[in-house]
DNA sequence: AGCGAAGTTAGTCATACGTTCAAGACATCC
DNA sequence: GGATGTCTTGAACGTATGACTAACTTCGCT
């Protein structure tokens, strides 16, 4: 049997936890199930992590980081409208690609709300703030009002979250593809109206 | 102590279950907690319902029915655009008013997805279909293509779901009020573009 | 008074959870 | 080749809590 380093094992456990959370929910994500998913033993989990809570802290960090990367790595355009549309598309495509990640993220958000903990809100916050940052950097030449950035970020978030919920519920890939187009056109129409009346330079 | 009919007790248990699900999630919605919330005891619950599952079946029906009513009761306008906007507004306002209901519905949807049961999808489906029906009735004079109706219903669903997720996470009422305006303007802009190019009669 | 509906007390039984331990297997260095 | 440190495991521990129930009491009505 291959011997695996603790570092690698930790990473495996994090992946496994995401998978299990997506399938069984937070409350169904037991140490046994996570260990099984990671093809390890329950004792191994406690060899790598002092407690389940320690593992979950890493899971949180992983999810937030992954999300941030997706937003950051969507190739930016010089103008605001294209950047926003590309951002929305990038996030939605990521959701379709990584269903388990998306489902796990939703579970974590729900769970955090119930516990009124700040950790779930942190994931949400971080994602929105990263979106804002990307939008801002796209308008560095012609700054727009912060309120406008906030609104655009909110609309991108809303459209992508709504999309995710639908995709997770139905799991219909071809429908999702069409819905991505609709969502993109919705954003585009609104941006035209929203930014059209106010010149970019203002 | 006042004696309460079984019918009333059942109704109380359903309300209590919604509350408990919103606070503790599906897995945290135990018979003990539900009974306590309903100011009754566990034995009473099993006096009214054969099993927890029986109660949950009623909870599902209640949630789906309530949702349907909200959509149906949004006062319809003669033209499609106004009807759609009013629909979206009605749903979002309902979400803000009934936080526990909204949270419980989200939990039920997530849970249903995990169990690959059809019940959660049924809630989702029913809601979307009701939206479509209302939209159709608003265009009875000048029928539009079914595909258009589908898209509008999807956009309304997406915007309201995304709104709900944000509202549940942050719980910021004044932010939610502003976001309702943004969502409404998003829908309006898109509808103008989407329907503008194709005359209503087509 | 008597009878059925409503309500309670105090459980049973079973499951499954997080966590630990003692012991074994492997690799690496002296 | 033995010592040492890093992985790996099966089997358990204690406990918490789940759904559900039997047996009994109280109420409201006729």
The model carries a pTM of 0.93
Is the model more confident about B119 or about A63? Answer: A63
Least confident of A3-7, A58-62, B111-115: B111-115
Tell me the chain B residues in contact with residue A111 when contact means C-beta distances shorter than 8 Å. 25
Return the closest nucleotide (C1') to the Cα of B39: C7
What whole-number percentage of chain A has pLDDT above 90?
83
How far lies B64's CA from each of A21, A84, B69, B71, in Å? 26, 35, 9, 11
Which bases of strand D have any atom within 7 Å of the beta carbon of a protein residue? Answer: 6-12, 17-23, 27-28
Instruction: Give the pLDDT score at B143.
Output: 86
Strand D–CB B193 distance below 7 A? no
**How far B14 CA lies from chain A's nearest CA (Å)?**
20
Instruction: Give the pLDDT score at B169.
Output: 94
The answer on pLDDT for A75 being more than 90 is: no
Strand D–CB B30 distance below 7 A? yes
Residue A151 near chain B (CB below 8 Å): yes
Residue A42 near chain B (CB below 8 Å): no
Do A183 and B110 make contact, defined as CB atoms within 8 angstroms?
Answer: no
Instruction: Give the pLDDT score at A142.
Output: 87
The answer on pLDDT for A79 being more than 80 is: yes
**How far B5 CA lies from chain A's nearest CA (Å)?**
32
Look at residues B18, B178, B4, B16 and name the one whose alpha carbon lies nearest to residue B104. B18
Q: Best interface-test mutation with A: which of B21, B128, B186 has the largest number of A CBs within 10 A?
A: B186
Cα separation, B160 vs A61, in Å, equals 28
pLDDT in tens, B57-109: 999 999 999 999 999 998 778 799 999 999 999 999 999 999 999 999 999 99
DSSP string, A48-97: H-SSHHHHHHHHHHHHHHHHHHHHHHSPP-SSHHHHHHHHHHHHHHHHHH
List all residues of chain B from 62 to 91 with a beta carbon under 8 Å from chain A: none
The stretch A26-46 carries a mean pLDDT of 97
How far lies A191's CA from each of A58, A82, A168, in Å? 37, 10, 27
The stretch A182-202 carries a mean pLDDT of 81
Tell me the chain B residues in contact with residue A104 when contact means C-beta distances shorter than 8 Å. none
Instruction: Give the pLDDT score at A201.
Output: 41
* Start-to-end C-alpha separation, chain B: 65
Question: Confidence class of residue A118 from pLDDT cuts 50, 70 and 90?
Answer: confident
The answer on pLDDT for B200 being more than 80 is: no
pLDDT in tens, B137-186: 999 888 899 999 999 999 999 999 999 999 999 999 999 999 999 999 99
Strand D–CB B24 distance below 7 A? no
Do A106 and B110 make contact, defined as CB atoms within 8 angstroms?
Answer: yes
The stretch B114-143 carries a mean pLDDT of 87
Which bases of strand C have any atom within 7 Å of the beta carbon of a protein residue? Answer: 5-11, 16-22, 26-27
Question: Confidence class of residue B197 from pLDDT cuts 50, 70 and 90?
Answer: low
Question: Confidence class of residue B201 from pLDDT cuts 50, 70 and 90?
Answer: very low
Question: Confidence class of residue A199 from pLDDT cuts 50, 70 and 90?
Answer: very low
The stretch A47-51 carries a mean pLDDT of 98
Q: Which residues are CB-contacts of A2 (< 8 A; sequence separation ≥ 6)?
A: none
Do B28 and A114 make contact, defined as CB atoms within 8 angstroms?
Answer: yes
Residue B133 near chain A (CB below 8 Å): no
Instruction: Give the pLDDT score at B1.
Output: 61
Cβ-contact A110, B107 below 8 angstroms: yes
Handedness of CA B66, B104, A127, A163 (dihedral sign): negative
């Amino acid at each position: 049997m291959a011997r695996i380093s603790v570092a690698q094992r930790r990473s495996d456990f994090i992946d496994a936890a995401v998978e299990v959370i997506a399938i069984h929910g937070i409350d169904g994500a037991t140490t046994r199930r996570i260990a099984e998913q990671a093809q390890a033993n329950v004792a191994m989990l406690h060899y790598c992590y002092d407690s389940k809570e320690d593992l979950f802290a890493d899971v949180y960090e992983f999810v937030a980081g992954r999300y941030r990367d997706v937003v950051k790595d969507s190739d930016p355009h010089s103008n605001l409208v294209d950047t926003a549309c590309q951002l929305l598309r990038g996030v939605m495509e990521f959701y379709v690609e990584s269903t388990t990640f998306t489902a796990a993220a939703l579970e974590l958000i729900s769970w955090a709300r119930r516990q009124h903990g700040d950790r779930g809100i942190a994931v949400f916050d971080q994602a929105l703030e990263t979106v804002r940052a990307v939008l801002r950097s796209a308008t560095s030449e012609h700054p727009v009002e912060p309120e406008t950035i906030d609104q655009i970020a909110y609309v991108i978030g809303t459209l992508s979250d709504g999309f995710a919920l639908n995709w997770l519920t139905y799991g219909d890939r071809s429908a999702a593809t069409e819905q991505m187009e609709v969502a993109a056109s919705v954003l585009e129409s609104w941006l035209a109206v929203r930014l059209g009346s106010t010149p970019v330079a203002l």
